């Protein structure tokens, strides 16, 4: 139930490892944004299928965070330019974990902060930035509730201002 309405949620979790880079794009045609603007209807309900992307990164892995900008956002936008994105920082329970912080310090790294995540979300045009922990369940329900809301009440598409450049 989200906002008092029953919802049936289906998830696709794609592999992030480099070995799957050539296979992963095969999953994009199953999304609204991957159909080149055509509406897909469900044979059971005759309702359009709607999607949202959850681009996730580990709050205790700066490399994972950088992959949002370098890999995941460009890939999603290439295949599905109009599908809403929610940026999700995972492993929230480890951001304040002493052992994890110590291991990061040894590599001269620090956990990703909330303001850093928020700035990345703004940079990629995500409709929301959320953080969660699967271990403690903190913020987890919110991630799925917000994903459903992004589909049921999508934000208006911002029109890019056209600029003229004369050379």
**Between residues 76 and 92, which one has the greater pLDDT?**
92
The predicted model gives 83-93 an average pLDDT of 96
| Secondary structure (DSSP) of 56-68 | EEETT-HHHHHHI
- How high does pLDDT run on average in the chain? 82
Strand partners, 97: none
Domains of the chain by range and CATH? Answer: 63-154 (3.40.50.300)
Question: What is the per-residue pLDDT for 28?
Answer: 66
Question: What is the per-residue pLDDT for 49?
Answer: 43
pLDDT band at residue 11 under the 50/70/90 scheme: confident
Q: Give residues with Cβ within 8 angstroms of 140, minimum separation 6.
A: 132, 133, 134
Question: What is the per-residue pLDDT for 42?
Answer: 38
Q: How far is CA 90 from the centre of its chain?
A: 11
**Between residues 66 and 30, which one has the greater pLDDT?**
66
pLDDT band at residue 113 under the 50/70/90 scheme: very high
- Find, among 94, 88, 73, the residue nearest to 136 by Cα: 94
**Residue 7, exposed/middle/buried by CB under 10 A (0-12, 13-18, 19+)?**
middle
Distance CA 50, CA 152 (A): 8
Q: Is residue 37 pLDDT above 80, yes or no?
A: no
The predicted model gives 107-130 an average pLDDT of 98
Q: What are the pLDDT digits (tens) for 39-51?
A: 333 333 443 344 7
Of the chain, the end-to-end C-alpha distance in Å amounts to: 56
Question: What is the per-residue pLDDT for 19?
Answer: 66
Q: Is residue 62 pLDDT above 90, yes or no?
A: yes
Question: What is the per-residue pLDDT for 82?
Answer: 86
Q: Is residue 33 pLDDT above 80, yes or no?
A: no
């Amino acid at each position: 139930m989200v906002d008092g309405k029953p919802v049936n949620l289906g998830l696709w979790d794609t592999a992030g490892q480099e070995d799957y880079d050539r296979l992963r794009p095969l999953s994009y045609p199953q999304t609204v944004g991957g159909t080149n603007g055509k509406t897909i209807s469900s044979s059971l309900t005759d309702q359009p299928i709607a999607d949202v992307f959850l681009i996730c990164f580990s709050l205790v892995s700066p490399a994972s965070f950088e992959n949002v900008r370098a890999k995941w956002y460009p890939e999603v936008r290439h295949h599905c330019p109009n599908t809403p994105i929610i940026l999700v920082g995972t492993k929230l329970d480890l951001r304040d974990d002493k052992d994890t912080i110590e291991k990061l310090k040894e590599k001269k790294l620090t956990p990703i902060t909330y303001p850093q995540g928020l700035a990345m979300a703004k940079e990629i045009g995500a409709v929301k930035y959320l953080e969660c922990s699967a271990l403690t369940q903190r913020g987890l329900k919110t991630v799925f509730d917000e994903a459903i809301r992004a589909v049921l009440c999508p934000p208006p598409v911002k029109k890019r201002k056209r600029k003229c450049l004369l050379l």
